[in-house]
Structure 1
């Protein structure tokens, strides 16, 4: 049986500010924003990812203080380029750190406006062997 991680709940204090940060500054795709009598949530997905984040007012989000999620990890093929893109969009990032010269040993981090923290790991192999094939990503983006 396959088990896939598809959604991470990120506790935030201001949905609009957080959508703007993750969509406009970090570059996640806004999949949807839903409002009804029970909730107001948004789902955003990093380019090339099969896993999304959900922010807003679900009961599970309300159980976590804004800014209490730490160490969620993103993976990119080129950490320097990814960091430069984020800094260029106004995201404050840590310096690149090389823990190990082998592929997978380079990291940097950033935080959202509430203090939820993200680690970004470089795995150069993702450039040639993405986890989700590029043709599938295109179909997913068009849906």
Structure 2
């Protein structure tokens, strides 16, 4: 049996502001904007270009059993992968997203510029609530080479 990661809940304080950020600035495709029930709760589902995994922004949903709700801005370390980090950075900057320069991991911590290894080039940004994202350059899958 395959287990696929399809949805990640991103805790935000303002659904409309977050939806605008992810759709307009990050280029995610807005797929669903619906209420759970008439006048009770709402969820917004957006998907990064080329991804099967979406993010969901929601309000009014009860806590899941044994899983208290995360505070807005508390989700860190979400990672997107691209095949061209410079193009991805230029696209985000062009859409008004504040991003770090391209960085790589060195023997002394993070250093500016691309890494020598094909996996070692990153940039970072945050959404309006402070949820933290990494973008990593990763080689294209073998089926696309």
Q: TM-score range by the shorter chain?
A: 0.7 to 0.9
In the TM superposition, what whole-angstrom CA distance separates every residue of 1:61-96 from its partner, at most 9, and x where no partner exists?
Answer: 971110000000000011111011001111000111
Within-5 A mapping of 1:59-78: 59-60=62-63, 63-78=69-84
TM-score of the aligned structures, taking structure 1 as reference length: 0.84
Aligned residue runs from structure 1 range 49-64, under 5 A: 49-57=51-59, 58-60=61-63, 63-64=69-70
Larger radius of gyration between Structure 1 and Structure 2: 2
Structure 1 residues 78 and 119: alpha-carbon distance in aligned structure 2, compared to 1, 3 A threshold: same
State the secondary structure of the residue aligned to 1:20.
Answer: helix
Note the residue ranges of structure 1 that are not aligned, 5 or more in a row.
131-143
Greater helix share, structure number: 1
- For 1:23-34, list aligned pairs within 5 A: 23-34=23-34
Q: CA RMSD in A?
A: 2.0
Runs of 4+ in 1 over 6 A off after TM superposition: none
Structure 1 residue aligned with 2:44? 42
- Give the deviation of 1:124 after TM superposition: 3.0
Structure 2 matches for 1:1-143, cutoff 5 A? Answer: 1-35=1-35, 36-37=37-38, 38-57=40-59, 58-60=61-63, 63-99=69-105, 100-126=115-141, 129=144
Determine the C-alpha separation between the residues in 2 that align with 1:7 and 1:49: 11
Taking structure 2 as the reference length, what is the TM-score of the superposition? 0.83
User: More strand by proportion, 1 or 2?
Assistant: 2
Unaligned runs of 5+ in 2: 106-114
3-state SS in 1 of match to 2:13 = coil
Deviates more, 1:62-71 or 1:39-48: 62-71
